[in-house]
Amino acid sequence: MPAVERTLYHFPLDPASRQARLALGEKRLPFEPVVVRYWEQPAEFGQLNPSGLTPVLLEIEAGRRTVVCEVRPILEYLEEAHPQPELLGADLAQRAETRRLMQWFDRKFDAEVGSYLLHEKLEKRLTKMGAPDLGAMRLGREALRTHLGYVETLLGERDWLAGRRLTLADFAAAAHISVLDYFGDIPWREIPAAKTWYMKLKSRPCFRPLLADRWPGLAPAAHYDDLDF
């Protein structure tokens, strides 16, 4: 097997980057992580991905470079290039359900929760935009409760979010939820099925690097890396 030099450009508290890290970890594909301060729009990163967004996967094999930009393309790429273990599901209907939930978190959850809570708590801090807006945070927290209720309902009926097996839907949800958990925003006591599910995820080897993430000046909630929280 030829040696592949694999690099992931990411930001530790970016839910999209976290999904790529989880998938790479679950498939046991070693990679060098490079942290991108995307809000500073570094020029060399813009040459890799014109949109300026993380994550980006770079693979160099026998001098041939493959650049895969952004989370959905990376996840589909990894499924096609490294099909085992299968993270989308075996049949067409299962894959549709996995992708539906991935879209749910990347589009709906991100727009209704992340764009409020992470913008106020994280992005404003990184870009020195001033104090969080409490009204926006309240809107985000209310939407978060609704979304967590949906997760709780699904996990009352299923072992994993998209069905009987772990899929990228779990990684999508866990990536978004884990960043909010860093800030102590997840009311775990109200969602026991989701808590059990998250404990199972936290104890997987692919999750460990995420639990070790720290960003200067932003301490995580006390239970953030606790496997038995």
Q: Rounded to the nearest whole angstrom, what is the least distance from the CB of residue 114 to a copy of itself in the complex?
A: 13
**CB of 219 closer than 8 Å to CB of 178:** no
Q: How big is the chain by its Cα radius of gyration, in Å? A: 17
CA dihedral angle for residue 190, residue 196, residue 199, residue 201, rounded to 10 degrees: -120
Q: Rounded to the nearest whole angstrom, what is the least distance from the CB of residue 95 to a copy of itself in the complex?
A: 7
Measured distance CA(180)–CA(122) in Å, rounded: 10
220 preceded by a cis bond (ω within 30 of 0):
no
Please, what is the end-to-end C-alpha distance for the chain in angstroms? 41
Interface residues toward a copy of itself, by CB under 8 A: 49-51, 53, 66-70, 72-73, 76-77, 80-81, 92-93, 95-96, 99-100, 103-104, 107-108, 150
Closer residue to a copy of itself (CB): 84 or 216: 84
Q: Rounded to the nearest whole angstrom, what is the least distance from the CB of residue 68 to a copy of itself in the complex?
A: 4
Closer residue to a copy of itself (CB): 100 or 208: 100
Q: Which amino acid, residue 75?
A: L
3-state secondary structure of 28: coil
How would you classify the pairing of strands 64-69 and 32-35? Answer: unpaired
Closer residue to a copy of itself (CB): 127 or 153: 153
Q: Rounded to the nearest whole angstrom, what is the least distance from the CB of residue 225 to a copy of itself in the complex?
A: 30
Q: Rounded to the nearest whole angstrom, what is the least distance from the CB of residue 122 to a copy of itself in the complex?
A: 18
Q: Rounded to the nearest whole angstrom, what is the least distance from the CB of residue 67 to a copy of itself in the complex?
A: 7
3-state secondary structure of 218: strand
Closer residue to a copy of itself (CB): 80 or 228: 80
Closer residue to a copy of itself (CB): 149 or 187: 149
Degrees (nearest 5) of the Cα angle 35, 208, 23? Answer: 70
Closer residue to a copy of itself (CB): 30 or 50: 50
